[in-house]
Amino acid sequence: MEYEVVIGLETHVQLKTHTKMFCGCGTAFGATPNSHVCPVCLGYPGALPTLNGRAIRLTVMAGLMLGCEIAKRSRFDRKNYFYPDSAKNYQITQNDAPLCLGGHVDLPGGRTVRLNHIHLEEDVGKLTHRPGCSGIDFNRAGTPLMEIVSEPDLRSADEAIAYLTALREMMIYAGVSDCNLEEGNMRSDVNVSLRPKGQEAYGVKVEIKNMNTFSGIHAALEYEIARQTQALDRGQPIVQETRRWDPDLGETFTMRTKENAEDYRYFPEPDLPPVVLTQEQIDAWAKDLPEAPAARRERMMKDYGIPEYDAGVLSADRALADFFEAAAKRSGNGKLTSNWVMAEVLALTAKEGTHVKDSALTPEALGDLLKLLDAKTINGPTAKALLPELFAQGGDPAAIVKERGLGQVADAGAIEPLVDAALADNPKVVADYKAGKQAALGFLVGQVMKRSKGKASPQLVQSLLRDKLS
């Protein structure tokens, strides 16, 4: 039988805060175990949580980016369960009054994935098992997490990855999270079920817990879809359960079935008053919101006349897009600026292993350089030769060009003797050209350019050569 795949994701995104959700401890990754802890995040007797206002602001910004309705009044709840990675044996989360409601993520192909809600919660500690004992590192305990819960709108593993990619791009863009996958900044629980094509009712779903790489999620989904398809084809029922993905074996395994599902006994967190937001507050935060990447891509194509591919590459990186726009405004030539950023600037950043925002090259300097090029004050090779210097040390292109006399020579009278000399010195090449070898012209242009110390206008040299050789 043919089945339709139904996938929903619950994605935990670590918020970019300096301190934890409910205490003043730092959130830096990779510190010595249990060095970022205090009575609050260790669940010591008498310690109380206080709310990190920045976590609220970042979640509201994420909600606004994703088109959610921001709840004017939300609340925290306690989720009760015993596990050693939880210092209080309950987790502070938002169960039935989350901060953001609804929302959507638009996929590149035009499909829209609806969101159910976004809520805030605290992360737990990290367990490490050794022979005969286990260790707990509470550095991560209490780190603010935003859980983005989608509706079951995804229809394939590829679509799930497209959704996560778009979500990640938006969260990085909004400055809400680094979404560093290796550091576990973005982890997903995946719900997947199958239903016969054309049937409206959902099939029995299986949840695969806590995966942080996109390739792992894709492989786990492919495996699970194949497993469920096979079971259904054989007439075996799917059991509602939670499964674990083993990346080494490439299989999912049962963790617990519905019968053993925990009763979390949620109830309102009495230590924290409800979070009350005014429209003025939300509006003020909305002002800090960057343009969404997709909207920016569209606008940049229109404003600068650049191709979709260029706009896509540039808009995917907020700092790069900011750099491009500032440089393009300065140069007055969007297409030229885009070509230079895409080819020359990105080649330099790749070579140096850095980001342009961390280099000495300012968008103003690049704009000025391209303005000189556009006005034919300097030629292309000169501009290319100057770029690495500006990238490494900075500087004012116009001043450098003036000081070093790099201005392009576009005076035919000054270049003609150099053309004549080059022709006289290379009779064999001239003969080749006259015999129909077009490539010989390029060699001759190079010879003239060399004699001009790179300052001659290549177009002028070419036209003079053609005149003399015809």
CA distance linking residue 242 with residue 255, whole number of Å = 5
Determine, following the binding rule CB under 5 A, whether residue 38 of this chain makes contact with Zn ion: yes
8 Å CB contact between 115 and 148: yes
Determine, following the binding rule CB under 8 A, whether residue 135 of this chain makes contact with other proteins: no
The smaller minimum CB distance to other proteins, of residues 135 and 250, is found at 135
Determine, following the binding rule CB under 8 A, whether residue 42 of this chain makes contact with other proteins: yes
Could you say which of 18, 26, 28, 44 contacts other proteins (CB under 8 A)? 44
Range in contact with Zn ion (rule: CB under 5 A) among 39-47, 70-78, 442-450, 458-466 = 39-47
Determine, following the binding rule CB under 8 A, whether residue 120 of this chain makes contact with other proteins: no
Which partner, other proteins, Zn ion, none, binds residue 44 by CB below 5 to 8 Å per kind? other proteins
Instruction: Write out the binding residues for other proteins, residues 416-445 only, by CB under 8 A.
Output: none
Instruction: Write out the binding residues for other proteins, residues 353-382 only, by CB under 8 A.
Output: none
Determine, following the binding rule CB under 8 A, whether residue 152 of this chain makes contact with other proteins: no
Could you say which of 12, 57, 75, 78 contacts other proteins (CB under 8 A)? 78
Instruction: Encode the chain in three state secondary structure.
Output: CCEEEEEEEEEEEECCCCECCCCCCECCCCCCCCCCCCCCCCCCCCCCCCCCHHHHHHHHHHHHHCCCEECCEECCEEEECCCCCCCCCEEEECCCCCCEECCEEECCCCCEEEEEEEEEEECCCEEEEECCEEEEECCCCCCEEEEEEECCCECCHHHHHHHHHHHHHHHHHCCCCCCCCCCCCEEEEEEEEEEECCCCCCCCCEEEEEECCHHHHHHHHHHHHHHHHHHHHCCCCCCCEEEEEECCCCEEEEEEEHHHCCCCCCEECCCCCCEECCHHHHHHHHHCCCCCHHHHHHHHHHHHCCCHHHHHHHHCCHHHHHHHHHHHHHHCCHHHHHHHHHHHHHHHHHHHCCCHHHCCCCHHHHHHHHHHHHCCCCCHHHHHHHHHHHHHHCCCHHHHHHHHCCCCECCHHHHHHHHHHHHHHCHHHHHHHHCCCCHHHHHHHHHHHHHCCCCECHHHHHHHHHHHHC
Which partner, Zn ion, other proteins, none, binds residue 42 by CB below 5 to 8 Å per kind? other proteins
Determine, following the binding rule CB under 5 A, whether residue 23 of this chain makes contact with Zn ion: yes
Determine, following the binding rule CB under 8 A, whether residue 332 of this chain makes contact with other proteins: no
Minimum distance of other proteins from residue 129's CB (angstroms): 11
Which partner, Zn ion, other proteins, none, binds residue 25 by CB below 5 to 8 Å per kind? Zn ion
The smaller minimum CB distance to other proteins, of residues 32 and 470, is found at 32
Minimum distance of other proteins from residue 203's CB (angstroms): 24
β-pairing, 206-211 vs 241-246, is parallel
Could you say which of 18, 28, 35, 50 contacts other proteins (CB under 8 A)? 50
Could you say which of 26, 53, 84, 417 contacts other proteins (CB under 8 A)? 84
Determine, following the binding rule CB under 8 A, whether residue 82 of this chain makes contact with other proteins: yes
Range in contact with other proteins (rule: CB under 8 A) among 56-64, 81-89, 189-197, 216-224 = 81-89
Determine, following the binding rule CB under 5 A, whether residue 87 of this chain makes contact with Zn ion: no
The smaller minimum CB distance to other proteins, of residues 18 and 434, is found at 18
Could you say which of 12, 14, 21, 49 contacts other proteins (CB under 8 A)? 49
Instruction: Write out the binding residues for other proteins, residues 235-274 only, by CB under 8 A.
Output: 263, 265-267, 270-273
First and final CA of the chain: distance in angstroms? 74
Which partner, other proteins, Zn ion, none, binds residue 202 by CB below 5 to 8 Å per kind? none
The smaller minimum CB distance to Zn ion, of residues 40 and 429, is found at 40
Chain contacts with Zn ion (rule: CB under 5 A):
23, 25, 38, 40-41
Chain contacts with other proteins (rule: CB under 8 A):
39, 42-51, 78, 80, 82, 84, 87-90, 134, 136, 263, 265-267, 270-273
